[in-house]
Every structure is written in structure tokens, then in C-alpha cells.
Structure 1
Amino acid sequence: MTIQYVDVLYTAVATAENGRDGRVATDDGKLDVIVNPPIELGGTGAGTNPEQLFAAGYSACFQSALGVVARRAKTDVSGSRVTAKVGLGKTESGGFGLTVALDVSIPNLERDAAAALVEQAHEVCPYSNATRGNVEVTLSVV
């Protein structure tokens, strides 16, 4: 596997305390949340969890990538929405892994045109590039 070279323009910094049952905060104080395992995994579900944070980041990033490719194609994607569903489960090797389903709605485009833009966004989105070859990502136009 080839490691992609990146000319870093910004670095986000976050620190976790007590892992999945604690707190995570960014160095600038803009994010400071309690994390707890969800009820489905035996936790209290009182706080957020890493999968929710990943889903939030991926959906926002993919939405931005969609805007980039739409501008290049001179296409209007106003009113579009991206919903990321991040699943956590056991792998065949006994560890844990993630799955991602991205549901994209672009109400003012025909399905084929929307699907083409979604595929292009998947090529430029940093989250898509980071997960490619490591995480199963399913794209759906809804």
C-alpha cells in the first residue's frame, strides 16, 4: 500500500482521557465532549462516542467535497444532504473495524447526474481517501 503525500495546510489536535468512557477535547477548546460507549455496546450512552464523531466529520467533509466537484462541473447542489452511518463491529481476525454508508440527497438533480457527482466527491474527499482500501464505504443516492 502506498502512503499518500500530503502538503499539510491545517492540523487538528484533540486529546482523549479514559478512552471510550471519558472525555475528548480539542486544544482550542471548540470541542469538549464526554464520551461513553453506546447502550448497544454495554455502555451508558450518556455521552457521544467515537463512531458518532467520525460520522459527523465524514458527513461534513463529504458534503464539502460534493460542493467542490459541483462547482467544477458548474452544477447546483443547493439543498443537498449527506448522512454518514458508521458501523462498529468485529473483524475476522478478532479485532474491531468500521463500515461506512454515505446516503447523499441532491434533490435538484436527476439520479444519474447525482450519482456521478457523488462518485467524484468520493475521489476528492479526505475522509474517503483516508478510508479507501481500509474501510468498506457504501455510497447511495437517496
Structure 2
Amino acid sequence: MKTLYTAKATTTGGRKGHVKTEDGPIDMPLSMPKGLGGDGGDGVNPEQLFGSAYSACFGGALNLVAQQHKVDLGDYSVTAHISIHKEDDGNLLLSAVLDSYMPGVSDIETAETLVNEAHEICPFSRATRDNIDVTLNVLRDE
């Protein structure tokens, strides 16, 4: 396997600390959400960072699949909802809901095909497959 890119990020102080990437674009405080017992401060949290990364990666995969099918997505977007859950035994789990909005795709069957194919090739989807629940939604203008 050939490595194409490696990102390096370092966090000090855990969920209430600071995260910084080696090359500098991310350099920000972390805060614990109120829902997890924190103060809900101005910093970001791991779920927000994961959701940002997953939605961007999935959007890239969706665009690639659309190009392969010669479909214009229009001004598309992917919104990731990342939730953290507590099991009865106290273990914590993540789940993800990915809402894909493709105004250039009028046919729902085509939209669903694109989303499902994107889910097969997206590196984040592949990494989370069989590890967390992922729900795929196609959003429509009503």
C-alpha cells in the first residue's frame, strides 16, 4: 500500500485542551460539550472535528461518483450529525447521520445510487464500516 498523505495533529489536555496540526491550519482550544458534562465553552470538540472531516470526505466521494455517472450535483452539500451514546454497560459509542443535498439531481433513485456508491468508496465510510451506525439520507427540496 502506498501512502499518499499523512496528517499529524497533537492534542494536549484531552477534551478540555488544545489541538494543533503540524502544518498549522488547525490550532484551537477544545471544550467539553454540556451534554457530556462540560462547560460548553468556545472550543471545538472531537465530534465536531470528526463530523467536519467526514462530511468533507463524503462530499468528495459523492462528487467523484457523480462525475463517473456524468451527473451534475448542482450546489451540493453534505451535513454530518455525529452523536455520542452511552450503552447500558457504560461504554460510549458514536453514530453518524449523513444528509446529502444534491439540487442538480431531480431523480430520487439516481440520488440514492450516488449516495450509496459514495458510501462504498469514501475512506471515512470504509474506516467506520461495521464500527458505528451510519445513516444515509438524501435531502430534497419540497
Q: TM-score, normalised by structure 1?
A: 0.92
Deviation at 1:93, TM superposition (A): 4.2
Please, what is the CA RMSD of the aligned residues?
1.1
Deviation at 1:89, TM superposition (A): 1.3
Q: Secondary structure at the match of 1:20?
A: helix
Unaligned runs of 5+ in 1: 1-5
Matched residue type, 1:131: T
Deviation at 1:112, TM superposition (A): 1.1
Aligned pairs for 1:1-142 (under 5 A) are: 6-46=1-41, 47-109=43-105, 110-142=107-139
Q: Secondary structure at the match of 1:7?
A: coil
Q: Percent identity?
A: 46
Deviation at 1:92, TM superposition (A): 4.5
Q: TM-score, normalised by structure 2?
A: 0.92
Structure 1 stretches of at least 4 aligned residues deviating more than 6 Å after TM superposition: none
Alpha-carbon deviations, 1:73-112, whole Å to 9, x = none? 1111121110000001113442111000001111121211
